[in-house]
Amino acid sequence: MGRGSVEHVDEVGEHVLERADVPDGVVVGVDGSASSLRALRAAAEEARLRGCVLHVVRAWTLRTAPRPPDCPPGAVPSLREYSDYVGQQTEELVTEHLGPAPGVAVRVHAIHSPSPQGLIAASTHAALLVVGHRGRGGFAGLVLGSVADQCVRHARCPVLVVRPNI
């Protein structure tokens, strides 16, 4: 698939801004939802057309991270165990939805951060940030969700919001 190892980042701050290796790359936020999977496919196509790397970012917090299955009952997983498991799940998700040879180099980043802050930090050197839009019917569907809204307002690169009808 052209993927390197999963990058684990414990805090956003300066570490992400300095180590985010995404010059001219396409960054996409993925959380496993249908809207993020549509964004993943759109971002992969954008990266392929631009001839650049696709950076798949899974920002997570202890509240949103899945519990590693090999952690004994009653034990508290370390941040590294959470990050490893989130990264592994994200790699599997990418392979499942883009296939083993998506036609673009892919790097997965598991970032311990709330989604908006992690995606905004990852956008610092990116050519494009792609996020999904959770479709709601009627008038409510016209309003961006909080993550997409914060990314559109604060990202340091152009933002593509992928709507459900794409």
pLDDT digits (tens, 9 = 90+) for 133-164: 875 544 444 445 688 888 999 999 999 999 88
pLDDT digits (tens, 9 = 90+) for 77-87: 999 999 999 99
Crossing angle of helices 115-122/146-154, nearest 10°?
30
pLDDT digits (tens, 9 = 90+) for 12-71: 433 444 455 446 799 999 999 999 999 999 999 999 999 999 999 999 998 988 889 988
User: What predicted TM-score, i.e. pTM, was given to this entire model?
Assistant: 0.82
Mean pLDDT for the chain overall? 83
d(CA 125, CA 21): 8
Q: How far is CA 36 from CA 40, 73, 117, 164, in A?
A: 6, 31, 17, 10
Assess contact for 136 and 165: CB atoms under 8 A: no
Provide the pLDDT for residue 25. 94
Residue 159 makes CB contacts below 8 A (sequence gap 6+) with 123, 128, 129, 130, 131, 148, 151, 152
Confidence of residue 102 (pLDDT cuts 50, 70, 90): confident
Walk me through the domains of the chain, giving residue ranges and CATH numbers.
Answer: 7-162 (3.40.50.620)
Assess contact for 99 and 14: CB atoms under 8 A: no
For the segment 86-90, the average pLDDT, to the nearest whole number, is: 95
